[in-house]
Chain A
Amino acid sequence: MFVLIVGCGRVGSAIARTMLSEGHEVSVLDEDSEAIARLERGIDRSWEDMGGSITVGTALEIDALLEAGIERADAFVASTDGDNTNLVIAQVAQRRFNVRKVVVRVLDPARAAWYEGQGLQTICPTQKAIEMLEAAVREEAA
Chain B
Amino acid sequence: MYVLIVGAGKVGWNLARELINKNHEITVIEAKPSRYATVEEELEHAVHLGDGSELWVLERAGIERADLVIAVTGDDEDNILICQVAREKYGVENVIARCNNPRNLQHFELLGVKPAISATDLILRLIEHEVPQYGLLRLLDLPREHLEIIELEVAAGSAAAGRTVVELGLPNGSLVISILREGGGFVPMADSEVKAGDEVLLVLDTTLEDEITSLFAAPAGSEAA
Chain A interfacial positions (CB closer than 8 Å to B):
60-62, 82-85, 87-88, 91-92, 95-96, 108, 110-111, 114, 118
Contact = CB atoms under 8 A, between A and B. Distances in A.
B1 interface: no
Contacts of B179: none
A62 B77 contact: no
B107 A110 contact: no
17 contacts: A60-B76, A60-B101, A60-B104, A83-B53, A84-B75, A84-B77, A84-B78, A84-B80, A84-B81, A88-B77, A88-B107, A96-B110, A108-B54, A111-B54, A111-B85, A114-B85, A114-B89
Nearest to B85: A114
Nearest to A87: B81
A96 B103 CA distance: 15
Given A60-B107, A92-B107, A110 B80 contact: no
B111 A91 contact: yes
B88 A60 contact: no
A61 B103 contact: yes
Contacts of B88: 118
A5 B217 CA distance: 49
A83 B126 CA distance: 35
